[in-house]
Amino acid sequence: MSELALLGGQKVRDKEFAPQQDFGEEEKRLIMEVLDSKQLSGFLASPGEKFLGGEKVRMLEDRFKDYYHVKHALTVNSATAGLHAAIAAINVNPGDEILVTPYSMCASATAAVMHNAIPVFVDIDGDTFNINPAEIRKAITPETRAIIVVHLFGYPAEMDEIMQIAREHDLKVIEDAAQAPGSTYKGNQIGTIADIGVFSFNQNKTITTGEGGIIVTNDDELAKRISLIRNHGEVVVEHYPVETVAGIVGYNYRMTELEGAVGVAQFKKLDKLNKHRIQLAEYLTEQLHQFTPIITTPRIKAYSKHVYFVYPMKFNAAEANVHRDKFAEAVRAEGVPIGAGYVRPIYLEPMYQELLAYGDSGFPFKGPHMKKTISYPKGMAPVCEKMHFEELLTTPICHYPLTEKDIDDFVAAVAKVLNTIGDLVN
């Protein structure tokens, strides 16, 4: 009988991995302050002090402003809400095109559809898994209004090139930094390079408030518009003069004081948590080198700081003589987390394949506002599809409070499967 757990053998690891969430006395103390205040949310949708929220959300916003050296930080109740508010703030028209990577969590593109804009998926770079600037150039049309740049897995996209293209074509750029708090590009904080940056605090992120997010910008007008969009702006817009009221349909994207309280305590830990991730990831990289050329570790440019929200690897099936999916299945069976790819290319979701978003009219993809026919054919982003379906492996294992011993188990599982690969093939 094979030793592989997938084929009935003993697992390398039986023990669960410790969760990454790190809550302590400060979270508890600040939550209790909120409960004792009897004020779980500090927002009111009317002109005045409370339009901008309560003490704890403002404290969190102030901490972000200090850390990121930005003029404005606005909490929201998710990064999805934040991305939508950002798109609404830049005032896109129905049918305007927004360039976005197909390789991300779905909200990076859905946020455009939420504002009746059309996501145009631009293929990725096969080494960084981020949007490829050369492909951005090819995708620009007279309808293009903006680019949403995702820093996937915590690794910075090529912002210099992207900002240069945006300037040439007068496009707004929104950074989806949900996975990359604390990451840097050429010495600049990710999230602060473009017009607007958006971070997520959902349950699985490096720092979490359960649900939540924050938007940063140095643009006064955009910040004003975002604060209106966040809090039922249509009822108060005449008290907060903005250049144009167009697009100021307000939502309730407000963060509660409870989330703000947890966020204040969590934010203090960001550097510590990232340092831990980077140390474990670097250790994992060293250990994985023994599997070259079957496994390729992340390629990192000297000017970019990876914060390893997810640790990506590339798998060479021809060298290994087994399909990537089979390999990942066998490693997983050994009791360690590994993914075959990440999430499927966004355009393969039914909304894009069927062109159905709101009702059955095809809006916003079809209708009198559209100057062209939209379609999202399979194969439209070949590098992304190759990475997702054939080459990419991911593991979330590089996080606090895991240790090198946990990484050793991961590496042992990989080694075991590669050493007995013949059992999988036969």
The site for ligand PLP (CB under 6 A) is made up of 78-80, 104-105, 107-108, 150, 176, 178-179, 200, 202, 213
Nearest to ligand PLP of 34, 79 (CB atom): 79
Nearest to ligand PLP of 75, 179 (CB atom): 179
Q: Tokens representing 354?
A: 């069927």
Nearest to ligand PLP of 104, 231 (CB atom): 104
Nearest to ligand PLP of 30, 105 (CB atom): 105
Nearest to ligand PLP of 79, 381 (CB atom): 79
Closest approach of ligand PLP to the CB of residue 203, in Å: 8
Contact status, residue 9 vs residue 1, Cβ threshold 8 Å: yes
Closest approach of ligand PLP to the CB of residue 213, in Å: 5
Closest approach of ligand PLP to the CB of residue 145, in Å: 19
Q: Buried b vs exposed e over 295-317: b needs ≥16 C-beta within 10 Å?
A: bbbbebeeebbbbbbbbbbbbbe
Query: What is the biggest distance separating any 2 CA atoms in the chain, rounded to whole angstroms?
Result: 76
Closest approach of ligand PLP to the CB of residue 266, in Å: 14
Nearest to ligand PLP of 12, 88 (CB atom): 88
Question: What residue spans of 115-256 are helical by DSSP H?
Answer: 133-139, 159-169, 220-230
User: 382 vs 102, 276, 312, 339, CA distance in Å?
Assistant: 11, 34, 19, 20
DSSP line for 62-85: HHHHHHHT-SEEEEES-HHHHHHH
Q: Which residues pair with 148 in a beta bridge?
A: 100, 174
Closest approach of ligand PLP to the CB of residue 113, in Å: 14
Reported residue count of the chain is 426
Element (H, E) at 174: strand 172-176
Q: Which residues pair with 382 in a beta bridge?
A: none
Contact status, residue 121 vs residue 109, Cβ threshold 8 Å: yes
Closest approach of ligand PLP to the CB of residue 316, in Å: 27
